[in-house]
Amino acid sequence: MMATKSMYLVGLAVVVVLFQTVVADGVKGSVQLNSGVFEKILRKHKAVLVKFDETYPYGEKQDAFKEVAAATLSQDDILVSEVQVQDYGDKENADLAERFSVTKDDFPVYFLFMSGDAENPKKFLGNVKNADDIKKFLMRESGLWLGLPSCLEDYDKRVKEFLKASGDKRQDILATAEEEASKESDESKKRSADIYVKTMKKIVEKGTEFVDSEITRVEKLKDGKVSDKKKEQLNERLNILTSFQLLQRDEL
């Protein structure tokens, strides 16, 4: 009986170790960091997003992290990474947590390091369960394109040109965008393209201040009593407006 129980416990321990290994190594697009390679990795990339967390994280917060990591796969200038801080045994990476004043009560904590600067990271203060919020932070602080849901890279590039231009040149860009949007056959892309065009028209009419005021208006609508379908549409609009906002800040 004792032997059977011992074998069961050993088997259970093996399963736990295997499960933990899969969880630890299963984030596509992310790398594990420790104090031995931390600054070496920072020096290799323009932007490094680092998540400090417990060992073997899981749940909604980790799902958001996985979504952010996946969104950066095509962006060579951004590296997403994770520092798992052990609070038992050898206490691996506790030195890094202490260096950046991170405690386990704070987990997960995101920092963005730019151009190898290990001393002045930007700290994410938003909702760690919301991948879009983390991506917006990453785009805003790094100036690099990721693309929020419903955003179109070609149109974001056109918006950048539009914001730099003035007068007739801005009208020409708007006309080209409007023509291409009318030819879009994919329903989802057509819906997004139309939002880009309408927003550019409003900027021509009301100025760049329109974007900030419209974001405030849409956020209030989204937080009110609206159907799931309407909330989805508002989120699409809000993501595209946020892209305009980020691109405007690049031009300041």
- Note the pLDDT tens digit of each residue in 143-153: 888 877 889 98
61, two tokens: 């917060």
Which pLDDT does position 17 carry in this prediction? 34
d(CA 243, CA 148): 8
Q: How many other C-beta atoms lie within 10 A of the C-beta of residue 251?
A: 9
Helices 153-164, 187-206: crossing angle, 10 deg rounding: 10
Taking residues 156-162, report their average pLDDT: 92
For residues 157 and 196, is the Cβ–Cβ distance under 8 A? Answer: no
182, two tokens: 């009318």
How would residue 250 be classed by pLDDT, with cut points 50, 70 and 90? low
Give the three-class secondary structure for 155. Answer: helix
Q: Is 150 left (phi over 0), alpha (psi -120 to 50) or beta?
A: left
* Residue 137 bridge partners (DSSP): none
The helix (H) or strand (E) run that includes residue 47 is strand 47-54
CA neighbor of 81 nearest in space, from 52, 55, 118, 104: 52
pLDDT at 211 over 60: yes
Taking residues 82-94, report their average pLDDT: 93
Q: Which tens digits make up the pLDDT trace of 6-29? A: 444 444 433 333 333 333 356 889
Which pLDDT does position 237 carry in this prediction? 93
Taking residues 170-188, report their average pLDDT: 94
Q: How many residues does the chain have?
A: 252
Helices 228-251, 187-206: crossing angle, 10 deg rounding: 50
Domains of the chain: 21-142 (3.40.30.10), 153-251 (1.20.1150.12)
Does this model's pTM top 0.85? My answer is no
Higher-confidence residue of 166 and 81: namely 81
Report the half-sphere exposure of 130 (CA within 13 A, side-chain side): 12
d(CA 11, CA 15): 6
Q: How many other C-beta atoms lie within 10 A of the C-beta of residue 77?
A: 13
